[in-house]
Amino acid sequence: MLHILVERAGALVSKDALIEAAWPNLAVEESNLTVQIAALRRVLGEVPGGESWIQTLPRRGYRFVGAVTKDTGRAHLETHAPPSLPDKPSIAVLPFTNLSDDTNQEYFVDGMVEEIITALSRIRWLFVIARNSSFTYKGQAVDVKQVGRELGVRYVLEGSVRKSGNRVRITGDLIDAATGAHLWVDRFDSSLEDLFDLQEKVASSVAGVIEPALQAAETTRSANRPTADLTAYDLYLRAYAMVLSSVRHAPEALCLLEQAIARDPCYGPALAWAAICCLRLVFDSGSEDQVPGSLKGIDFARRALEVAGDDPGTLANAAQVLAYFGEDIGTMMTLVDRALSFNPNYARGWHISGTLKMWAGQPDIAIEHMEIALRLSPRARIGQSLAAIGRAHLLARRFEAAIPKLLLAIHEDPSFPNPLFSLAACYAYMGRLDDAREALARLRAITSSVTSHVMRDISHFRDPQHRELLLTGVRLAAGETI
């Protein structure tokens, strides 16, 4: 557009001529032309008086009135190489398509995209292209691979908005710009009671589900690289995938993380996840001497906090480990609150917050935070949120409410012992002793010592009444004398 305006400087250029030049052979709304002209004026405005160089002739078109000097010494236009990919995962959110009959809904659609860009920008490990760059594609039929090259991003998010009556449907599609593969597709349906509240709600949901989708895509990308070329980041990604897939992989994951830390001693995420691995190993170990593992986990967590800065994942993971090993629970909850202030859409952060609230003796708040985690990331494995919700109901003596959550958690991971002994305690308190004994039998099949496992698990609960409630429930299930 700028080229044709400058080429005809001082003369009227019709709207039709500009649309045909920018979007040849495409049916494009005139509002797209207005958006692009506004973008040009913003860029030209960086020069004093430049914002007025493009004049609007109402209902006719535009005219360039700035000074134009022809450089006859240049034989050809300079071309610029496309930007290189940044050193971390990168994404561009393209303008969503308005599928509503009402073209006046463009403002809502554009506002929706801006909210999503803002929400994704809170993910510290993600590079997000600014709105001004991604909106240059508004109204265009784009090739995602070309967009990836031109903007220097690895992923592209497309979408559409359809409004009908008092309902709105928003669809999102996350694409790998290098291959064109669709990594995630979803839709959100809601009533249109408050446009701006809906924008924020959907943006949080999109960011919450995209983060694990991107993490999974990056993990797959790392796994396909030759082992000899692994960097600290690659080692971290491989370990991260192992920890999330099963706690049984904690020893191997810790080994990879220690290699990453050896390459970069200040690598916060690797330090924090190494601390999480140590927690898992201490918790699952049948050894009586757990001091070495505990000290190692504490050391990793403290080193992680030293370099965490404003990285939500590092802050939250380190806080969970230090809280588990006995440091002040109030301070650790404050650290997790800080992490969530940096990224309110961090699903695992809400899971950890719920865990710490439960340890601190606040089961109802714990349930609330766990449910936020599940809503933000309903398809990703973000931890045993269902087991934690069930246990929080148990601590609040809502045994019937606890059982369905615990059964779902056991179904998700039958090798995880915690929901089994919580289930046994619930059944015992309800007088369903046969069911309680069956749950204990399943627990004995996966842990060498039920008693030592239960004692380890309840040790980090700060409220002595909660510790006693859990222990008594297990004893009742086992038929022991209280």
Asked if the model's pLDDT at residue 45 lies above 60, the reply is yes
The answer to whether 67 and 59 are in contact (CB under 8 A) is: no
pLDDT bracket for residue 378 (50, 70, 90): low
Asked if the model's pLDDT at residue 199 lies above 80, the reply is no
293/396: higher pLDDT: 396
> If you compute the radius of gyration of the chain from its CA atoms, what whole number of angstroms results?
28
Q: Which two tokens stand for residue 393?
A: 């109901």
Angle, CA 293 vertex, CA 287 and CA 295 arms, to 5°: 135
* pLDDT at residue 164, rounded to an integer: 77
Number of CB atoms found within 10 A of residue 16's CB: 11
Distance CA 45, CA 357 (A): 51
pLDDT bracket for residue 86 (50, 70, 90): low
Q: Which two tokens stand for residue 448?
A: 């060498």
Distance CA 342, CA 127 (A): 15
Topology of the domain comprising 2-64: Arc Repressor Mutant, subunit A (1.10.10)
Query: What is the arithmetic mean of pLDDT over 44-58?
Result: 81
The DSSP secondary structure of 312-326, one letter per residue, reads HHHHHHHHHHHHHTT
Break the chain into its structural domains and give their ranges.
Answer: 2-64, 90-218, 225-344, 358-482
Asked if the model's pLDDT at residue 94 lies above 60, the reply is yes
Topology of the domain comprising 90-218: Rossmann fold (3.40.50)
CATH number assigned to the domain covering 225-344: 1.25.40.10
* pLDDT at residue 482, rounded to an integer: 39
* pLDDT at residue 346, rounded to an integer: 83
**pLDDT tens, residue by residue, 428-438:** 999 999 999 99
Asked if the model's pLDDT at residue 179 lies above 80, the reply is yes
pTM: 0.62
**pLDDT tens, residue by residue, 437-466:** 999 999 888 877 777 778 888 888 999 999
Q: By mean pLDDT, which of 56-65, 258-267, 286-295, 350-359 is the weakest?
A: 286-295
Asked if the model's pLDDT at residue 77 lies above 60, the reply is no
Topology agreement, domain 2-64 and domain 358-482: no
Asked if the model's pLDDT at residue 168 lies above 60, the reply is yes
Asked if the model's pLDDT at residue 384 lies above 50, the reply is yes
81/320: higher pLDDT: 320
* pLDDT at residue 290, rounded to an integer: 67
User: Is domain 358-482 given the CATH code 1.25.40.10 in the classification?
Assistant: yes
Q: By mean pLDDT, which of 183-187, 229-233, 373-377, 442-446 is the weakest?
A: 229-233
Asked if the model's pLDDT at residue 307 lies above 80, the reply is yes
Number of CB atoms found within 10 A of residue 200's CB: 17
Query: 3-state class of 303 per DSSP?
Result: helix
Average pLDDT, whole number, for the chain?
A: 82
Distance CA 357, CA 461 (A): 10
